[in-house]
Amino acid sequence: MATTALPHDPALARMLILEELFDLSLYKALRNISNDTESQKVLDELIVVETQHLAFWQKFFDSRLTAIDAGRRLKLQFMVLACRLFGTRGIHLVLEAIEVHGVRKYLTLWNIYKDQPLGNALKGILMDEFKHEDVLVSQLTERKINPERIRNIFLGLNDGLVEILGAVSGFFAAFGDAMTVLIAASTTAVAGSISMAAGAYAALNSEKEVKTTEFLRKQFLGEQTDTQMEDQPFGSAVVVGCSYFLGALVPVLPVLLGAKTAAVSLLTAGAMTILASTLLAFLSGMDVTKRIALNLVIITIAVGVTYAIGILAKQLWGVSV
C-alpha cells in the first residue's frame, strides 16, 4: 500500500493522527499501571500495532503532529484514573470500547472514501483492526468481563432517571406538596423497578428457551453445539431492576432532602444524564454528542409533557393536597 502524501482534508488528517496518538498514549499508560501479565502482553502487542498505524498516517498525510490536544489529554487522564480505580476489569472494558470505536470510525470513513486513494489506506488499517486488535482484545474480554451486563446497568440507570424525573415533574405540577410528591415518586420508582426486572426476566427466559431448543437440535443432528447464554434470567433481572431503582433515586433524592420544586431534580438528573450518556456512548461505540443530545431532548419532552399533564389534571379535576 502506497504511503505517498496526497491532497487531503487537513481536519480529517488531524483527526486520524490524533486518534491514533490518543490510542497509543492510552495503551502505554495502561501498560504502566497494569499488574496483570495477560493484560500486559496484549497491551504490548497493541502498542506495536498503534505505533505502525500512527507512523503510516503521519507519512500518508506528510504530518509532523506528535502530541494530542488538551481535550484528548483530559480524556486520557480520566480513563487512566478510572482504570486505576477499577483495576484489570476496567482496563479490559476500556480496551473493548476503544476497539469498537476504532472499527466503527474506520468503517464509516471507508464507506465515504472507498473509491479514493484514502479508501485503500483505510482498508489496510481496517484489516489490522479486524485481524489483530479485535482478536487480542477479545481474548481478554471474553474471559474477564460481560460488556452486555455493564451496558444494561447504565441503560437501567438511564431509564429510571428519565421516567421518574418525568413523574416528579408531573406530581409537583399536580400536587405542589413535596411530601406527596416524595411518596408518589417513591412508589412509582419501586413499581417501575419491579416491572423492569420482570420484563428483563421474561425476555431472557424466552431467549434461553429458544437457545436451549437450538442446542438440543444441533446436539441431535451431531452439529457443533456452541449455543450458550452468558446471562442468566434471574441474575439479569436483578441487575436491571436495581440499576433502574438507582437511576430513579437521582430525581427523588432532592425532594427527600427538602426541594420544594422540580427544578433541583431537573438539574441533578440533567447532570447525571450527561454522565450516563457519555459512559453509554463510550461502551457502545456511539457518538457521545449525539447520545447526550438525544437523552437531553427526551428528558425535556418527558418533563414538559408530564408537567403539562399535572397542570391539566389540577385545573380540570381539582387535584390538590
The total of structural domains in the chain comes to 2
Query: Residue 102 is part of a domain; what is its CATH number?
Result: 1.20.1260
Does position 26 have pLDDT exceeding 60, yes or no? Answer: yes
What confidence score (pLDDT) does residue 4 get? Answer: 45
What confidence score (pLDDT) does residue 70 get? Answer: 93
Q: How many CA atoms lie within 13 A of 234 on its CB side?
A: 0
Both 203 and 237 in one domain: the answer is yes
Cβ distance 302 to 166 under 8 Å? yes
Q: What is the mean pLDDT of the chain?
A: 82
Both 54 and 154 in one domain: the answer is no
Task: Report, as an integer, the average pLDDT of 72-95.
Answer: 89
pLDDT digits (tens, 9 = 90+) for 134-143: 666 666 655 4
| Domain termination residue (choose one: 126, 144, 162) | 144
> Where is pLDDT greater, at 38 or 281?
38
CB neighbours of residue 7 within 10 Å: 5
Distance CA 272, CA 295 (A): 11
Both 155 and 100 in one domain: the answer is no
Cβ distance 171 to 257 under 8 Å? no
Q: Which domain holds residue 278?
A: 147-317
Does position 216 have pLDDT exceeding 60, yes or no? Answer: yes
Which segment of 39-43, 112-116, 240-244 scores lowest on mean pLDDT? Answer: 112-116
| Domain termination residue (choose one: 123, 144, 165) | 144
Both 305 and 209 in one domain: the answer is yes
Does position 264 have pLDDT exceeding 50, yes or no? Answer: yes
Written as one letter, the residue type at 76 is: L
5 found inside a domain: no
Distance CA 193, CA 190 (A): 5
What confidence score (pLDDT) does residue 296 get? Answer: 83
Both 160 and 71 in one domain: the answer is no
Task: Report, as an integer, the average pLDDT of 260-268.
Answer: 89
What confidence score (pLDDT) does residue 24 get? Answer: 94
Both 136 and 251 in one domain: the answer is no
pTM, to two decimals: 0.66
What confidence score (pLDDT) does residue 295 get? Answer: 80
What confidence score (pLDDT) does residue 155 get? Answer: 77
Does position 114 have pLDDT exceeding 70, yes or no? Answer: yes
